[in-house]
Amino acid sequence: MSNFFAARHISRRFCSDGTRPPSAFLRSTRKLGGKLSPADLRRCSSSVLSALPSSTATDRPRNAATPSEHERMKFPAAAVALTFALASTSSRISTPAHSFSLNMMSTQASSSARTNSRAAVGSKDASDDGGGGGRHPLDPIGRNFDNSWLGQLDPEDPSNRIKSLSYARGPENEDSLNRASRPVFNGHFVEVAPTPLRNPRLVLYSSDVAERLGLTEEDVTSEEFAKFFSGDVKGAFESHEESGHIDTRTWATPYALSIMGTRQSHNCPFGTGDGYGDGRAISVGEVVVSPEALDGPSSARYELQLKGGGRTPFCRGADGRAVLRSSIREFLASEAMHHLGVKTTRALSLVVSDGPNGNTSRRPWYSGDNKRTLPSMDDPRLARFSDEQKRQLLSQLAVQSRGDPDVMIMEPNAITCRVAPSFVRIGHLDLFSRRATKEMKSDGSGPKLDPSTPEWRELEKMIWHAAFREFPAAAYDPFHEKDDIVGAAKTLLNESMEAISTMIGGWIKVGFAQGNFNADNCLVGGRTMDYGPFGFVDEYNPLFAKWTGSGEHFGFLNQPQAGFANYAILVESVMPVIYEKLGEEEGEKVQSEIMEKAQETFQRKMDEVFRLKLGFDTDDAAADPVWETVEKLLRESRADYTMFWRRLTEVASEFPTLSSEAYGDMLDLLCGSDEVREGSSPFHEPLDAEYRSKFLKWIQMWRETLKLSDSSSSGDNNEVAERMRKNNPKYVLREWMLVDAYSKASKGDEYMIAELLELVQRPYDEGTEEQEKRYYRRAPDEALQAGGTAYMS
């Protein structure tokens, strides 16, 4: 073909100009109407808030180039980029006297904590499942290793490894162990052994995941299990009678970085893009579980990956470790997402390096004094603005006024084993596509697509492997024997489109903000991963994010746009093989059709979210203006996202007859009362007369629209209420809960971890009286201000 380079930008065009996915809920929030215009907001910023301390927070990810204007999804009040001097705390780091350390628990306490953890996931007694009997505890996984990544893909070429060692950074004795930071110029993986933790102790595990792998309670609580999942992979099998025949190879993978549809390389420590990859995640095996074990029609493959397993060539100077605090967050969040019904990686185990001789790392974090301060509605500097304009300004400040850590703390190392059918990232395909087309020129001159190069073969292998791992029945089995890579690639793109858009729709449904949604953090199979900078929405803001580096482009309601940009990178990465086979004209046609379909798919998934949350059918467009109206009210009234939707569900349940006009009673039920139970109202401030009137009108609009729509039959609201209950969770994993849990764990009290694990398994249920009292509430006001809870870096 003649000029693939020019045609490849079709996918970029779709995510960068006016054709970005125009979700209905976004259309409603783009216009400022009679309120402050973007220019007005920028002009007023310095004069209104110049007295506030300057912020140290950044408005973009630390490893990101600033997205161009067309790469940002626009919102009215919240999404307009402001240039205020923001309230913040000092970024100066000091070393306090205290440290984050895990005290040794007594045998009784430790046993109690683990028992509660198992009870939380409904494990069964080991005597019931055939465990023990002299069988090695790791037999179910050791005998079923089938590492397709190593079998189907290519290792790093030895000559390239020697070349890269001249760039190596790190301890001299680590080169032989493949743990020195260095560029990796070719190959789909490098073999690297985890660095075992000292004094490993199992803190938490999921019996559901363990059972899927064929592991019993006795297996999981064995010494061998703690060894293996703390990084001592070979040592864990030393006592196995067939230890010499078990595949204990472990590996890390390279991938590329793309942010909001823009390919990056300059942030790589070597300036080439060859230094990105699994910096602290090491895969320790793929386990194929038989149909009999799964009680299903076919076998299943699960990859086991240790997060925090030590340095790899991609660690970029860091220590490759995770700490207990972040590991607790990762474990609980991934399990919470699973039970919320959002596709995700799972967590099998959490192992900590215990005791005074355990491994530790020093990390920057937040002191108790690190809090953001925002002006109030009656601040004299805001006097010349209307109440609505004040709310706009304060909403934006809440997003931007987030400080960096101000102390260094010592924390115990821990390793979480995350489990998924596959960890194939868009970044994997992105990397090998770049290499296969790196010699091409934008003006059409220079080399053309060349399927004879080693780089091209690596790209083709990566595409086949992604199809095999993620969509074997649809994208691999029908095409592989015929060597039809075009059919496989097109099917892969269609399946991934559906999966990624569905995942993001799930995020919006449950109020989840991933925080750093680059293409390397986006799995081809549409599975949530990388629970580092995540957060669940407390006070509603369309640009909500916990991470100070999220910027506007990774804000809560901008995630569909970020996901679409990631998908565009996937399309751009796979299209070379289609262009090479079909030619330029047909290739452009295929690419345009795929991107147009993707727009429609992402749009449809976003439309469905709020239709369901409001009790309508997925295809009932009558719900769209109802959402558009209430979205504005939620922004302006300081509403808790989760509690508002669940309270609205209660209204639907308590007033089942849609012809009822008891709108005042409905509003009272929606608002709840902090006098009855603290934090039980979804509103951080009581509604004044103006907003009570607005919400009354909106409730009437919502009910009358439902009554006239096809989403309810015969005016019966029961089906509406049930639809809402299934789409509006009562419990999500809020940051103040996690802070409480990991703070207690740092002092040896691990009970709350197990308590939260039990809670998040039934997020749509009413819960016990104690659970409702403790956890069905909006975030305490101090949690919306404190560093490490309201925001983090």
- Is a pLDDT exceeding 50 seen at residue 635? yes
User: What amino acid is encoded at 192 in this protein?
Assistant: V
Q: Between these two residues, 716 and 368, which has the higher pLDDT value?
A: 368
Cα distance between residue 393 and residue 374, in whole Å: 10
Note the pLDDT of residue 198.
97
- Is a pLDDT exceeding 70 seen at residue 331? yes
**520 catalytic residue (yes or no):** yes
* Residue 123 binned pLDDT confidence (cut-offs 50, 70, 90): very low
Note the pLDDT of residue 133.
52
Angle at 398 between CA 380 and CA 330, to 5 degrees: 160
- Is a pLDDT exceeding 50 seen at residue 592? yes
Ranked by mean pLDDT, which of 2-11, 302-311, 742-751 comes out on top? 302-311
Range 635-655 average pLDDT? 96
* Residue 536 binned pLDDT confidence (cut-offs 50, 70, 90): very high
Range 228-253 average pLDDT? 91
Token pair belonging to 400: 């931007």
* Residue 29 binned pLDDT confidence (cut-offs 50, 70, 90): very low
- Is a pLDDT exceeding 60 seen at residue 35? no
Range 237-244 average pLDDT? 81
* Residue 166 binned pLDDT confidence (cut-offs 50, 70, 90): confident
CB 24 within 8 A of CB 624: yes
High-pLDDT (> 90) share of the chain, %:
59
Cα distance between residue 217 and residue 694, in whole Å: 55
Q: Over the Cα atoms of the chain, what is R_g?
A: 26
* Residue 442 binned pLDDT confidence (cut-offs 50, 70, 90): low
Note the pLDDT of residue 203.
95
Note the pLDDT of residue 441.
56
Q: Between these two residues, 80 and 552, which has the higher pLDDT value?
A: 552
CB 474 within 8 A of CB 575: no
Q: Is 85 exposed, middle or buried (0-12, 13-18, 19+ CB in 10 A)?
A: middle
Note the pLDDT of residue 20.
39
- Is a pLDDT exceeding 60 seen at residue 39? no
Note the pLDDT of residue 76.
28
User: What amino acid is encoded at 547 in this protein?
Assistant: W
- Is a pLDDT exceeding 50 seen at residue 260? yes
Place of tokens 């016990």: 768
Q: Between these two residues, 114 and 558, which has the higher pLDDT value?
A: 558
Instruction: Kindly tell me the number of DSSP H helices and DSSP E strands found in the chain.
Output: 29, 13
* Residue 401 binned pLDDT confidence (cut-offs 50, 70, 90): low
- Is a pLDDT exceeding 50 seen at residue 63? no
- Is a pLDDT exceeding 90 seen at residue 54? no
Residue 500: CB atoms within 10 A of its CB come to 28
Note the pLDDT of residue 19.
39
CB-based contacts of 206: which residues, under 8 Å, 6+ apart?
A: 121, 335, 346, 347, 348, 349, 757
Q: Between these two residues, 379 and 302, which has the higher pLDDT value?
A: 302
Q: For residue 757, give the 3-state DSSP assignment.
A: helix
CB-based contacts of 457: which residues, under 8 Å, 6+ apart?
A: 451
* Residue 46 binned pLDDT confidence (cut-offs 50, 70, 90): very low
Range 332-350 average pLDDT? 97
What residue ranges do the domains of the chain occupy? 4-14+425-602, 107-363+411-420, 613-784
Note the pLDDT of residue 788.
84
**Residue 786's beta-bridge partner residues?**
371
Beta pairing, strands 407-420 & 322-323: antiparallel
The DSSP H or E segment spanning 525 is none
- Residue 61: which region, alpha, beta or left (left: phi > 0; alpha: psi -120 to 50)? beta
Q: Is 288 exposed, middle or buried (0-12, 13-18, 19+ CB in 10 A)?
A: middle
For 658-674, the DSSP string reads TT---HHHHHHHHH--T
* Least confident residue range of 295-309, 422-436, 452-466, 592-606: 295-309
pLDDT tens by residue, 172-200: 555 566 888 889 999 999 999 999 999 99
- Is a pLDDT exceeding 70 seen at residue 422? yes
Angle at 270 between CA 267 and CA 271, to 5 degrees: 50
pLDDT tens by residue, 297-312: 566 999 999 999 999 9
Angle at 60 between CA 537 and CA 22, to 5 degrees: 65
Note the pLDDT of residue 295.
59
Q: Average model confidence (pLDDT) for the chain? A: 81
Angle at 751 between CA 747 and CA 756, to 5 degrees: 115
**Nearest to 511, CA basis, from 779, 706, 696, 691:** 779
* Least confident residue range of 105-114, 405-414, 486-495: 105-114
Helices of type H across 401-545: 426-436, 454-470, 477-480, 485-510
Cα distance between residue 275 and residue 316, in whole Å: 7
Cα distance between residue 413 and residue 200, in whole Å: 10
Note the pLDDT of residue 714.
54
Range 406-420 average pLDDT? 93
Catalytic residue selected from 219, 520, 607, 640 = 520
Dihedral sign computed on CA atoms, order 781, 783, 785, 791: negative
Give the number of C-alpha atoms closer than 13 A to the C-alpha of residue 192, restricted to the C-beta side: 35
CB 302 within 8 A of CB 289: yes
